[in-house]
A and B are shown apart, each in its own frame.
Chain A
Amino acid sequence: MTGARDPLQVKYSEATNGLRIARQTSPPGAASISATYVGPAGWGFDPPSRGGLARLVNQLVTSAAGRHDRIALARLLDRAGATLTRQCAPESAEVTIWGPADEGELLLRLLADVVLRPRFDAEDVARVRRQALERQLRELTQPAARADRELMESLFPVGHPYRSTGTGDRRSLARIRPEDLTAFHRGHYVGSEGLLVVTAPAGHREIERIVRREFSEISDASPPVLDFPHASLPRAAEHRVELRGHSQVEIRLGGSSIPRSAPEYPAAFLANEVLGGRPLLSRLFQRVRERGGLAYHATSELEAMRFGGYWAAQAGTGPDRWSKVVPMLRSELRRLDSAEVPGRELDAIRESAIGEIPLSLESTAEAHELAIELAYHRLPEDYLIRWPARLREVPPGEVREAAAVALDGARASLILVGPLNGR
């Protein structure tokens, strides 16, 4: 499959108000459409005293819009066989609509409605606040959620956009007024630095026409800029949080890392796959679960964002086993740094990563995820087509060098949360 109808090929264009548009053809046989607005509206933009604002706005945007209150909007989506979902991250926030392609025009109109004309009805705001409060409590009391939060706080200095998990605290939520919600929406759900990604089976010229029409009112205001403090990153630390009554200890070992645009990203991607990113084949899975029998999950992730990133090795295990798992995580990191990955191992990981591309093309929704990533990071239109060749070019030496930079075990922070001293 090559050419314009190849789902690996994305086409870019730009509307007059600065909104970038990315179009992708659905995989063969798929009959659904996915459309996502991505805006510079992540929680990294939360004002210092208004932690939680970006998440609240993101949730409220999908609640009610234009002439549709929350229930009317839900019924409209149900009757169309569609779903409306949201996602918030440090740098950006997303709103995605998915449904039958024959309802494409209606769905694009609804997406424009929620992005451009959210209602912020008082009862919706109250409900979303209550849910946010519960999420805050969960981040304090649930081991996995708490460990993720502790890791970010140990990796990034105060004021850094990646330091928070976007939930704020009780006081910051209480400070958020209705006008804060509308102001945040006005300033961040904009055309400049905004992105609209559409994956559909056909009719792309028509889709582009509808998108341009429906999003013609999106603000062309100057995009906000994330503020990165000049303070140096915190030193490696070990942080233990005893949460009694739970069954499992959550372990995070991680550090700050490279942005997606870094030249060493493909090699760092492979390094992470070798460490714990590739299911079943990775070293952490093999060492901790398959040989050690010590944990159900032992993985790693490399989160390379636009301006920076982080990596984390993670596992969950019983209170009597975490002290055996932690040295394993550390020693696998050292091994990655101290010796090149053997050619055979690297080839298996590499070919697995390349071979799984067709699995990402089973449905519109899966292909759409690839297109969003491509467009958000401003990668070339044919990036996915060239990705296999790029991965095959990476020699073991480059993987080792990239691991030293992007998965630096020597400067990693260790987080342990759960029943550390027994249940």
Chain B
Amino acid sequence: MSVAGVPRPPVTRFTLPNGLGVVLAPIPASPTASVWVWYRVGSKNERPGITGASHWVEHMLFEGSPRYAKGEMDRAVVSVGGELNAFTDTDFTAYLTTVPREHLDVPLDIESDRMTRALISDEEVARERTVIHSEREGAENWPEFRVEEELYQLAFRVHPYRWDALGRREDIERMSAAELREYYRRFYGTRNAILVVAGGFEPSRTAVRIRERFSALPAGGDDVKVGEVEPPARGERRSELTGPGTTPHLEMGWRAPALDDPATPATMIVDAILGGETRPFAAGSGWGRAAEHPSARLYRALVDSGLAVRATSDWRPRVYPGLFTIHAQAAAGVRLDRLERAIDAVLERLGRSGPTVSELNDVRAKIRRGALLAYEGASRTAFRLGYFSVVRSPEYEGRLFRALLRVKANEVRERARSLFVDEARAVVRFEPLDGRPE
């Protein structure tokens, strides 16, 4: 079956009286069933002092609920050969479990038990604090993380996008179990959740099982809309970092539209022309940042020319206006000023002349063909349906796909002109303290 050119399995959707959204995508031949619960809760719902709360709650939802003592969720899933995990973003948190199809009841039972009744005990919060610290420390070992965290902090002064989903070190140190429980009770509820099941199952029987388990949960979940509006930037903002590393990094960010903004399709094409990415319609894994895009403009101007060892652009689909970023890592011996001038020249040229006909045709073909295999496998299907459901709706994928294919060259040129304004830009430069070339 094809929905607006993106082939995907047929989908059944319904909402329980308590507000829980349900999306079912049966794939009869699939040997697995993948269950994802998406909450519209992410670091956007935090405030200074409790940054990282969504991520910490994510950890705590594995640490016990009324029917599953600590460790029993893991054992219940892993002992039947399943996998479970979770991740936290600025806009949402997702919990995923994939099991052999005959064990579908296991994740359904777990998710219904922890959706509103996770224990989050003082003792477990205290123990998990160092684990969270350790996760952040692992990220801090990479300059790329430090640079990006600094960039968002620099570009945003009001909106919660200014902190990373891992949270600030000081807040992780200070946050109490009571604050975490309050955050969980406030936002984690049926009204803010979407349950997606994809894979080998019979939909009507599965719908009955879902109603049995989830209907009794009380309706809950405070409004997750973010009230803070980031005022326009008035002037360029710059920051310089130093630390352990190999060669210098440069990351620039410009205010970019939210996912449902009419300017989004053209922004995504700008990203594809500059950096080569066509997420979420990329071939392969379909979401992660691909290693290299040799035909993209930044790669050709910076990596081919010997100025950089890698160069990418990135626009992440977000519920609120975020950033369009360009990241480049200098080749040994190349100074950041030179790299910055080269990036400016690439952006100026796109804003002046727009993409070529063949570039635009290539990007369209890449999107069209990349979408072809986007739904291979139960886990990937549940991921895509859940993602689009939590940020907009499953139908939004088709609308976005069609809109992307309609973007014209002059729209890309105009978008580049309005996007890459120096006064609205944030720039982070990172110089390594060691590892300098001899």
Contact = CB atoms under 8 A, between A and B. Distances in A.
Chain B binds chain A:
yes
A54 B310 CA distance: 21
A189 B75 CA distance: 45
Contact of A28 (B29, B129, B133, B365): B29
B218 interface: no
A351 B140 CA distance: 37
B243 interface: yes
A216 interface: no
Given A100-B373, A127-B303, A362-B379, A356 B82 contact: yes
B309 interface: yes
Contact of B131 (A63, A70, A295): A295
A74 to B, nearest CB: 4
Given A134-B331, A243-B244, A356-B82, A366 B303 contact: no
A245 interface: yes
B362 A295 contact: no
B31 A27 contact: yes
Given A81-B372, A100-B372, A142 B31 contact: no
B382 to A, nearest CB: 11
Interface in B16-74: 27, 29-32, 70-71, 74
Nearest to B310: A131
Nearest to B365: A79
A133 B247 CA distance: 10
Contact of A361 (B31, B74, B78, B362): B31
B78 to A, nearest CB: 5
A131 B362 contact: no
A141 B247 contact: no
Contacts of B247: 134, 137
Contacts of A170: 438
A351 B80 contact: yes
B377 A363 contact: yes
A358 B101 contact: yes
B416 interface: no
B138 A351 contact: no
Contact of A71 (B294, B379, B435): B294
Nearest to A357: B81
A126 B331 CA distance: 11
A130 interface: yes
A331 interface: no
Interface string A279-301: 11100001001100111110000
B190 interface: no
B239 interface: no
B435 A354 contact: no
B32 A359 contact: yes
Contact of A82 (B142, B283, B291, B379): B283
Contact of A29 (B29, B134, B438): B29
A294 B79 contact: no
B434 interface: yes
A28 to B, nearest CB: 3
Interface in A97-120: 98-100
A71 B359 CA distance: 12
Interface in A40-96: 63, 70-71, 73-75, 77-83, 85
A352 B78 contact: yes
Contact of A81 (B83, B300, B366, B434): B366
Interface in A6-36: 27-32
Prevailing SS type, chain B contact patch? mixed
Contact of B246 (A74, A138, A358): A138
B81 A293 contact: no
A247 interface: yes
Contacts of B30: 28-29, 362
B429 to A, nearest CB: 17
B350 interface: no
B12 interface: no
A130 B82 contact: no
Interface string B338-380: 0000000000000000000000001001101110110011111
A174 to B, nearest CB: 12
A80 B433 CA distance: 43
B121 interface: no
Contacts of B394: none
Contacts of A30: 376-377
Given A78-B362, A358-B101, A133 B81 contact: no
Contacts of A74: 293-295
B380 A296 contact: no
Identify the interface centre among B126, B134, B291, B365: most chain A CB within 10 Å of its CB. Answer: B134
Given A78-B366, A82-B283, A248-B141, A280 B74 contact: yes
Given A81-B368, A290-B71, A297-B134, 18 more contacts: A29-B27, A31-B376, A74-B293, A78-B362, A81-B369, A82-B283, A123-B304, A134-B332, A137-B246, A137-B437, A247-B138, A248-B140, A278-B78, A296-B135, A317-B137, A357-B81, A358-B32, A418-B141
25 contacts: A29-B30, A32-B373, A71-B295, A81-B283, A83-B284, A99-B369, A130-B306, A131-B309, A137-B435, A138-B435, A142-B246, A170-B438, A245-B433, A245-B434, A248-B140, A289-B131, A290-B70, A296-B135, A297-B134, A354-B81, A358-B32, A358-B81, A362-B98, A364-B376, A366-B377
